[in-house]
Amino acid sequence: MKLMKCALALGSNLGDSLEILKSAIETLNNQPEVSVISRSSWYQTAPIGPPQPDYINACAILEVALAPEALLAQLLETETKFNRIRREKWGPRTLDLDLLLYDNLILETPTLTLPHPRMAERAFVLVPLAEIAPDWVHPLTGSTIAQLLQVIDCSGVQKLTVDS
């Protein structure tokens, strides 16, 4: 299968979030058909949903030799390895991996929508994604990630000053 470029959002607000996120990226990069080619800085972000701790978020660009559904299965399996438990919508979690973009594919299945349906509304996604892929064009809006970032409130997103 041809290598496809994908954008991934990562988040955590339970446990040692920074270590969990670093380990999750390493876990993904060690998969036979996945290569992490870049990662954004780490960001502390205000949560959406019920009261809970702040998140640490980042984005990564992957090259994969997996179909979208197979990649999604890999992401869900990785979340499970890091004790992700789904209790409530937008609730706290040890690890959240969201497939944002899969090349320029537009897809809607019962289990996967591409591009991610809410990515253009979320500063905690667009800020780190714009850092590593500012010129990637959102296949539905026709706007670049940098352009999408210009029209949202980014006040709840703070860059962390930590190593790696």
Active site residues: 84, 93, 96, 98
What amino acid occupies position 54? D
Tell me the C-alpha distance between 7 and 49, whole Å.
23
Measured from the Cβ of residue 27, the count of other Cβ atoms closer than 10 Å reads: 17
Beta-strand relationship, 34-39 and 43-45? unpaired
Residue 72 to residue 109: CA distance in whole angstroms: 12
